[in-house]
Amino acid sequence: MAERKEHLYIAFENLLKMKSECSCEIFSECGLSDITVKQVGYLKTIDEHGKITFSGLARITRNSKPTITEIVNRFVKMECVYRERSVDDGRIYYICLTEKGQMIARSEKHALLKLIEKMSEALDENDMDTLVQILEKIR
């Protein structure tokens, strides 16, 4: 039993390494190979909410408005976000993702899709069906 768990551990470690490599490829394509997990998390939050105000992002992330302003300024320089003035109230600005920002925010999903593509290249249809059945048992 211990040997089986060790093999499973190695298999999962290899899968996670492959997923990480796929994520790194995406970050490199965007010219942001040094982006942090926390920064990706902020971009994901912005992506989930579409347009979001500075105060809205501060509330969701439990940060101060000055901290959010600093983060957004950094993202603007990285070309991941832009500010959009509200048409209803010129004092309000929304934080919006650029295409680059969207790609990074959705990098985990893209990395998983790349990993699945690699798996489907290595496995035949029956093996893929078996893998799906096994993984669906884990909840």
What is this structure's pTM? 0.76
Q: Are residues 55 and 87 in the same domain?
A: yes
Q: Are residues 77 and 20 in the same domain?
A: no
- Domain that residue 82 falls in: 35-105
pLDDT in tens, the chain (139 residues): 788 888 889 988 988 888 888 888 888 888 888 888 899 999 999 999 988 999 999 999 999 999 999 999 999 999 999 999 989 998 999 999 999 999 999 988 888 888 888 888 999 999 999 988 988 888 7
Number of structural domains the chain divides into: 2
Q: Are residues 42 and 27 in the same domain?
A: no
As given in the structure block, the two tokens for residue 48 are: 């989930």
Contact 105, 47 (CB under 8 A): yes
Q: Are residues 93 and 129 in the same domain?
A: no
Q: Are residues 28 and 40 in the same domain?
A: no
